Amino acid sequence: MPEEPELVVVAERARRSEAGSRAVFKALARSYLYARTSEDAPLLHVADLGERGRWASVFSTRERLAATIGECDAIGMPGMDFLEFVPTGVGLVLDPRDPHALPCRRTCSTRRPQPSA
């Protein structure tokens, strides 16, 4: 069985309250992420849930995206780039339907970290 991506391991730890939002955000930024897009342009599919907010599904692997959504247009990119691509006010749901599924609100800055002096 292939080793799980770091993001999945961190999400599992977060679900058990063994890792915080900062660890999840850092793992998201270091990961390669996949999401459903439209056929015409790389627009992220966002669900507006009214008072519960606006959310987009993001996947840790192409296989998880296919297992959840089926055949669709998709985009993949490094996590830090993906976080910059997500519209302001849109939260992410990591790997919906998987045991480690995790909602991630965009409360942290998504600007690239500056090198330490």
Q: In this structure, is residue 71 part of a structural domain?
A: yes
Q: Tokens for 6, please give them.
A: 């770091």
**pLDDT score, position 110:** 44
**DSSP character for 17?**
T
Residue 28 in domain: yes
Picking from 58, 107, 54, 115, the residue whose alpha carbon sits closest to that of residue 81 is: 58
Asked if residue 48 belongs to a domain, the reply is yes
| Residue 11 domain flag | yes
Q: What is the pLDDT of residue 105?
A: 76
Q: Is residue 110 part of a domain?
A: no
CATH number at residue 68: 3.40.1350.90
Expressed as residue numbers, the domain containing 34 is 6-104
The tally of domains found in the chain comes to 1
Residue 115 lies in a domain: no
Spatial distance between the Cα atoms of 34 and 100, rounded to a whole number of angstroms:
16
The answer as to whether 112 is a domain residue is no
pLDDT at 7: 94
pLDDT in tens, the chain (117 residues): 568 999 999 999 999 999 998 999 999 999 999 999 887 767 778 888 888 889 989 999 999 999 999 988 899 999 999 888 888 889 899 999 999 999 887 644 444 444 454
In a domain? residue 111: no
